[in-house]
Structure 1
Amino acid sequence: MSSMFDVVVGWGDAEPKPSGSGITLALQRLQVPPSGACFIGDSPSDIAAAREAGIISRGAAWGYTGPALSNHAPDILLSNLSQVRRTVADLMGRTGQYRTTPSD
């Protein structure tokens, strides 16, 4: 399955969330600046990790924590999956760096 991703950061590669070190490591390996990324998560530790890594956080209100995730101040709270598509499209428009298929 790792062949489907340009970079995989897993257990043992970085400190666990809420540390942002895993996100930072992934961005370094991808050679993408923090301004060219966002992190979508459904838990307070996801939001904290994004904040520590210096990237935009998107909270998934339909996930583990639910709407109460707004109490942890994600940059934007998403209420459904269609908003994820818009988030990715916005990011692609800003950076031109997003890849939708695995590299060969």
Structure 2
Amino acid sequence: MVDISGDLAAIFGDHGEFAKSALYIPSGFDAFPIRLVPFRADRDVRHGASRFMTEGFSFRVRVSELAMPNVGDRLQFEDDIYVIQDGFRRDEQRKWWVMEAVAECV
């Protein structure tokens, strides 16, 4: 197995190049700060002759910061709140969570 701990520190550390500060808001519990890497998850979806775009975000969070995400938990990132959707998974090295989320409708 390849040791990527130095790479993760460069990405997620306080001075990491890609990670951003956010709040994780688990359902029924107090919010806590985390560092995440956001990815725009727009997708071109085709269904028969129809074509449309889905909007959302994909977030990566270190497993050491978040033991287990749950569907319906929320992330406060920048000025928006996102709701975690079904389908979160761990990466191949099992170092971070990859989570799909959509903006919360207010």
TM-score by length of 2: 0.25
Instruction: Answer with 1 or 2: which has the greater Rg.
Output: 2
The structure with the largest strand share of the pair is 2
Which structure has more helix as a fraction of its residues?
1
